[in-house]
Amino acid sequence: MQEAYLLLGSNQGDRLQWLQQAICMLALLCGNLLQKSSVYETAPWGLEAQPHFLNLALLLETDKSPEALLESLQDIEEMLGRRRAELWGPRTLDIDILTYGNEVMHTEKLTIPHLFLHKRRFALAPLAEIAPNFVHPQLHKTIATLLAECSDPLSVCLYDGFLAR
């Protein structure tokens, strides 16, 4: 068993409903959900002329390898209507592997920890809520420190609390 931190995001349609469905599918197909952050509303990164995202971070306990986990995540994205169009463009659902245990890997399909984790406030803020003291296995800094040092100017706000929990 390994513990992986994941980031879920949606900026199309009923964003909260996509996240809730993804959480159900993850629990069914990928392992045990040990922790879940609040939901955050975040400004789009990369391609700015698109709706704001809702994001949340999860801790998943899984017996899947990183590659098998990625395949399952992509299956869930497909099942929930994701269509791959533009890079960084709008999507009903995006699921990224932020970290997988303390592994560091870089293959054609996977970079772990996620290549942009330390550069994106929309990933660091939810992750810092559930794992402030987790040490980034490559940068050797805690998530709380990486968030404090992050220069990403894009806004990240807690989404309406009673819906999000």
94 is known as an active-site residue = yes
> In the complex, what is the shortest distance from the CB of residue 163 to ligand AMP, in angstroms, rounded to a whole number?
25
Among 38, 50, 102, 111, binds ligand AMP (CB under 6 A): 111
In the annotation, is 121 catalytic? Answer: no
Which residues have C-beta within 8 Å of that of residue 128, sequence separation ≥ 6? 143, 144, 146, 147
**Which residues within the stretch 37-96 sit at the binding site for ligand AMP (CB under 6 A)?**
70, 94, 96
DSSP string, 41-68: EE--SSS-SSPPEEEEEEEEEE-S-HHH
CB of 94 to ligand AMP, least distance (A): 5
Between β-strands 40-42 and 53-62, what pairing exists: parallel, antiparallel or unpaired? antiparallel
Among 64, 114, 121, 136, contact with ligand AMP (rule: CB under 6 A): 114
The residues assigned a catalytic role are: 82, 91, 94, 96
